[in-house]
């Protein structure tokens, strides 16, 4: 019986990781906004903005 392996390119793995991080930061920002902790919300928004900037700037570099 043959075993099949799925090969994922390294650049695709990085894209998947950054997309998951972007969704995670959005989710944490929305959950954190319900607790009215402004310092954490500002930090999460900056992380989200940095991740979004990274994705936009590295989108066409592959």
pLDDT tens per residue across span 10-56:
777 777 888 888 888 888 878 877 777 788 888 888 888 888 888 88
Domain assignment of residue 4, yes or no: no
Domain assignment of residue 62, yes or no: no
CB atoms within 10 A of CB 27: 11
**Residue 51 near residue 18 (C-beta atoms within 8 A):** yes
What domain count does the chain have? 1
Distance separating alpha carbons of residues 52 and 22, to the nearest angstrom: 7
pLDDT at 10: 74
| DSSP 3-state of 17 | helix
pLDDT at 3: 76
Domain assignment of residue 36, yes or no: yes
**Boundaries of domain holding 16:** 10-57
**Residue 18 near residue 54 (C-beta atoms within 8 A):** yes
Distance separating alpha carbons of residues 54 and 17, to the nearest angstrom: 12
Domain assignment of residue 2, yes or no: no
């Amino acid at each position: 019986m043959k075993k099949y392996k799925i090969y994922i390119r390294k650049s695709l793995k990085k894209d998947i990781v950054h997309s998951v991080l972007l969704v995670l930061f959005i989710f944490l920002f929305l959950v954190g906004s319900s607790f009215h902790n402004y310092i954490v919300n500002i930090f999460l928004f900056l992380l989200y903005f940095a991740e979004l900037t990274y994705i936009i700037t590295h989108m066409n570099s592959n």
